[in-house]
């Protein structure tokens, strides 16, 4: 039987395995694992199997998660199961599913149960729970990572192929690294948080754990979408992973700014990961990590801890001993935050956002260790606050700066400790990170989670236009890596494919254009040259803004591609090529530039 979402859905649709059999397998594996600290509550097995059997009456092709068992972090509401946030005294019975759970069911997924977490989603270690400590799937003595500990372990151990966590300070990324799985932290507002118990409501997001990047991307497509029930929901672009514009600029901190807290092996592993990205075609670009470090310190040293206090202040007043002592010590500090403190921090954050935004003008994505090192449960017990803080040095700033992230396994050390890296980009670039992360993860040839099973062959991507997108044929300075490509990147455009036109065009170097640009002129069919081009996808709104800014003598018309299809693309007015150099024999602008440098 298959292990990944993609393969399981294919088997379910083909009828070689049924959703009911897959659900039953999950329950059997939970019993075999025999770790009562992974799940806080489980659905009745017969009820879950009956729900899986009922899928047979639905259109399987329309259900992207057809028959997939899913585990849900226990700060996300599931009708019929209590929401505890790992605090029995706080537990309540939700009246309905959280929006994200309703979307899971609508996509054909079957909820298995609610998973353990650092109490009130406060922590990156996974040990602050009265329900016990889930055993790390890779090495029993390691912390499982938090706060989404149970969700990460459930996927790594093969109990379910998909689980949901939340991520405010790194809770969807740190446990992914420590359990050798993929952790997708989407752009804020991309997945609804209606029905999710807040940690910091202004910063929270639902995260996704899966065995492969492609599986995480499948889930994201099913779960994303604007939700009026969530005041922080946003209408953000989202596309499936696709080809990458090359060369992709990968931001890397200065060597003296990286912290590994004495773990020389993690430092070597990070450098090895960077070299793997270089071999995949990325260009390293050094940047200043200082504003990101300063932002990270704001999360717990600043007023945002008051948001955590707001959620449980009544419990702290009435029954403080019900809260884990470490968690209580962190959250009680929020009671003393003043309005002046809050505004001072907001002003500082805005300045740091401006500085960090400038960094992303020169890079396409940022590469960081997911965590600087790993700790055992025993080590953490000796110094719970300091070691927890160390695990968040590369994660705490992400939501404050409105970034999306993808944590990907990188290597497994000889001592069995996993190491991983995280790709970061501004909100709305989730597909770009998935496109790069899937190539990297496949290239590592790591086994999936703790299963010891190889990754499936990387599926070929057939890029498709989204319902709100328009294809644009680019021929010159807007090609990937060329002078004006940043204009497309700024509009969240994505590369669909590299191809060439039908032999119906001539290409000219336009005199006096700054930066240098070509003009492509349509001639009689078959009497010209085939010109190498790129096809990009833009939202309709972005396409309109882009076209409005195009200067004469260039214009947008219909361009015939080699496969006979038509797409909107750059053309030039015939009068503009009078006296211009005909460069058609080069076959494209990139070849001409290379030959003239």
Catalytic positions: 73, 147, 171
Contact 151, 121 (CB under 8 A): no
Q: Are 31 and 72 in contact (CB under 8 A)?
A: no
Nearest Cα residue to 27 out of 15, 10, 7, 44: 44
Q: What CA–CA distances, in Å, run from 210 to 32, 217, 371? A: 21, 9, 18
Give the span between the Cα atoms of 442 and 499, in whole angstroms.
25
- Calculate helix-pair angle for 305-318, 325-332, nearest 10 degrees: 120
Give burial (CB, 10 Å; 0-12/13-18/19+) of 45.
middle
Q: What are phi and psi of 487, to 5 degrees?
A: -65, -40
Cβ 422 vs Cβ 171: under 8 Å: no
**2 class by beta-carbon count within 10 Å (0-12 exposed, 13-18 middle, 19+ buried):** middle
- The residues with which 471 forms a beta bridge, in sequence order, are 537
Alpha-carbon Rg for the chain in angstroms? 25
* Burial group, residue 552, by CB count within 10 angstroms (0-12, 13-18, 19+): exposed
Do 374 and 178 meet the contact criterion of CB atoms below 8 Å apart? yes
CA 127/CA 65 separation, integer angstroms: 31
Of 301, 292, 288, 295, the residue nearest 256 (C-alpha): 288
Cα-flanking dihedrals φ and ψ of residue 394, to 5°?
-105, 10
Residue 139 φ then ψ, to 5°: -155, 120
Distance from C-alpha of 472 to C-alpha of 479, rounded to nearest angstrom: 11
- Among candidates 302, 298, 294, 398, which has minimal Cα distance to 342? 302
Nearest residue to 504 via CA among 574, 561, 557, 463: 561
CB atoms < 10 A from the CB of 67, how many? 26
For 524-585, the three-class secondary structure string (H helix, E strand, C coil) is: CCCCCECCEEEEEEEEHHHHHHHHHCCCCCEEEEEEEECCCCEEEEEEECHHHHCCCEECHH
- Please name the residue ranges forming H helices in 124-223: 149-156, 174-178, 213-223
- Cβ within 8 Å of residue 300, ≥6 positions away: 169, 330, 389, 396
214 in Cβ contact with 241 (< 8 Å): yes
Q: State the Cα–Cα distance between residues 198 and 4, nearest whole angstrom.
A: 30
């Amino acid at each position: 039987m298959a292990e990944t979402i993609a393969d399981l859905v294919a088997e379910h649709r083909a009828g070689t395995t049924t959703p009911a059999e897959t659900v039953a397998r999950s329950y059997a594996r939970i019993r075999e694992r025999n770790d009562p600290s992974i799940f806080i509550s489980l659905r009745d097995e017969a009820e879950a199997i009956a729900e899986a059997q009922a899928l047979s009456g639905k259109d399987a092709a329309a259900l992207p998660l057809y028959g997939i068992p899913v585990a849900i972090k226990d700060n996300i509401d599931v009708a019929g199961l209590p929401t505890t946030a790992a605090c029995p005294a706080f537990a309540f019975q939700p009246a309905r599913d959280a929006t994200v759970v309703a979307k899971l069911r609508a996509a054909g997924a079957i909820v298995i149960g609610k998973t353990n977490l650092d109490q009130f989603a406060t922590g990156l270690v996974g040990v602050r729970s009265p329900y016990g400590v889930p055993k790390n799937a890779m090495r029993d003595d390691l912390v499982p990572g938090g706060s989404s500990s149970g969700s990460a372990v459930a996927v790594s151990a093969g109990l379910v192929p998909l689980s949901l966590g939340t991520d405010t300070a790194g809770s969807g990324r740190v446990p992914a690294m420590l359990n050798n799985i993929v952790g997708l932290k989407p752009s804020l507002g991309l997945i609804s948080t209606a029905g999710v118990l807040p940690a910091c409501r202004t910063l929270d997001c639902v995260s996704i754990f899966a065995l492969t990047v492609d599986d995480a991307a499948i889930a994201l497509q099913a779960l994303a979408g604007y939700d009026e029930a969530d005041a922080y929901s946003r209408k953000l672009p989202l596309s499936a992973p696709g080809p990458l514009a090359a060369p992709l600029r990968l931001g890397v901190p200065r060597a003296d700014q990286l912290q590994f807290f004495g773990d020389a092996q993690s430092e070597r592993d990070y450098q090895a990961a960077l070299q793997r990205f270089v071999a995949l075609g990325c260009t390293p670009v050094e940047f200043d990590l200082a504003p990101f470090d300063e932002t990270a310190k704001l999360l717990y040293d600043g007023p945002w801890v008051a948001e955590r206090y707001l959620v449980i202040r009544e419990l702290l007043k009435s029954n403080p001993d019900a809260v884990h002592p470490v968690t209580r010590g962190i959250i009680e500090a929020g009671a003393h935050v003043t309005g002046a403190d809050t505004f001072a921090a907001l002003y500082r954050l805005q300045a740091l956002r401006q500085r960090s935004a400038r960094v992303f003008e020169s890079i396409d994505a940022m590469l960081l260790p997911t965590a600087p090192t790993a700790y055992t449960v025993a080590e953490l017990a000796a110094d719970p606050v300091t070691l927890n803080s160390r695990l968040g040095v590369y994660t705490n700033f992400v939501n404050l700066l409105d970034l999306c992230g993808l944590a990907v396994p990188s290597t497994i050390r000889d001592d069995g400790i996993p190491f991983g890296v995280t790709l970061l980009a501004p909100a709305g670039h989730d597909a770009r990170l998935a496109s790069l992360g899937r190539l990297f993860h496949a290239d590592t040839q790591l086994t999936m989670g703790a299963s010891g099973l190889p990754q499936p062959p990387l599926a070929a991507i057939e890029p498709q236009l989204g319902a709100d997108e328009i294809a644009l044929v680019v021929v010159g300075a807007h090609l990937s890596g060329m002078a004006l490509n940043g204009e497309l990147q700024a509009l969240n455009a994505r590369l669909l494919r590299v191809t060439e036109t039908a032999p119906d065009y001539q290409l000219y170097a336009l005199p006096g254009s700054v930066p240098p640009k070509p003009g492509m002129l349509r001639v009689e069919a078959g009497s010209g040259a085939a010109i190498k081009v790129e096809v990009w996808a833009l939202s309709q709104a972005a396409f309109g803004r882009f076209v409005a800014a195009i200067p004469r003598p260039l214009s947008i018309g219909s361009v015939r591609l080699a496969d006979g299809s038509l797409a909107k693309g750059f053309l030039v007015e015939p009068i503009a090529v009078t006296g211009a150099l005909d460069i058609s024999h080069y076959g494209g602008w990139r070849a001409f530039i290379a030959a003239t440098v």
